Amino acid sequence: MGAQHYVGRSRTKAPFTACVSTSDHYVPMRALIIALDNWTSRGAEPPSSAYPRLADGSLTTVDQYRAAFPAGIGLHRRSRTCASRASSATAFRRAHGPDYETRVPAPDADGNDRGGVRLVELQAPLGTYTGWNLRAPETGFAWATSRFDGSFVPFARTEAERLAGNDPRPSLESRYPTRDDFVAAVRAAAERQMAAGLLLPEDLERTMQRNVGLYDRIQQRDPSDAGCAYLFAP
């Protein structure tokens, strides 16, 4: 959940309004390839399916998604880019009945998708990850979203910084009082992923280094810097 078509590598926001997400869904895919091989060659059933559901509210309408998504963080999903009803020809609708209503994963209070396979990044978050990004007005077609790119908007580092920026999301300081607290949260999330068959033991340290490294860079980042280079190790 909250992933995009690839792992982001852009050091600038352009041509979008937010930094491109660097969430890494390749890691669980590695584990799932092994699970697929074990299933087809040895008969070992793969991990249970995980997807958003209507029953628990983790699948919702576009209008409900937009209403629940946190305001004031620089991201606002425009209704025109994801209509709450699928677009189809009038003649087709008349012939086959009412429009099909689009459903999308519901966000939590941070704007991160609640259901489905939640990456370590979403279980021990450093910000809001979405599978969509908005085109900047100067790019043209400002009403549209990107085709393949997601977004990342970090949490404020401290409560003072959060209040100064009118950010409704709790700060890193309130979530993880110390760096060790964040390390522990990441390790616990990674261990849950391993238990679910969504992370290979050999990828544990890679996952730890990736997430803790981003934490350190966010803490060292100048908040007035609008660039995205902090997402990457020097």
pLDDT tens for residues 69-102? 999 998 876 655 454 444 444 555 556 667 778 8
Q: In whole angstroms, what is the distance from residue 137 CA to residue 132 CA?
A: 16
Q: Which residue segment(s) compose the domain that 147 sits in?
A: 19-58+109-231
Asked if the model's pLDDT at residue 191 lies above 90, the reply is: yes
207-213 mean pLDDT: 98
89 lies in some domain = no
* Angle at CA of residue 114, ends 158 and 71, nearest 5°: 50
> Measured between alpha carbons, how far is residue 231 from residues 34, 47, 66, 153, 219 in Å?
29, 31, 26, 11, 11
Two tokens, residue 150: 């997601």
Which secondary-structure segment (H or E) carries 33? helix 26-42
8 lies in some domain = no
Q: Which residue has the higher pLDDT, 34 or 79?
A: 34
| Letter string b/e over residues 129-154, b meaning 16 or more CB atoms within 10 A of that residue's CB | bbbbbbbeeeeeeeeebbeebbbbbb
5 lies in some domain = no
81 lies in some domain = no
Dihedral angle at the C-alpha atoms of 185, 189, 195, 196, nearest 10 degrees?
160
169-193 mean pLDDT: 98
pTM of the full structure: 0.89
40 lies in some domain = yes
Neighbours of 15 (CB within 10 A): 16
pLDDT, tens only, 42-60: 999 877 788 999 999 999 9
Which candidate, 143, 167, 135, places its Cα nearest to that of 71? 167
pLDDT, tens only, 17-28: 999 999 999 999
Residues 6+ apart with CB under 8 A from 57: 106
**Count of domains for the chain:** 1
156 lies in some domain = yes
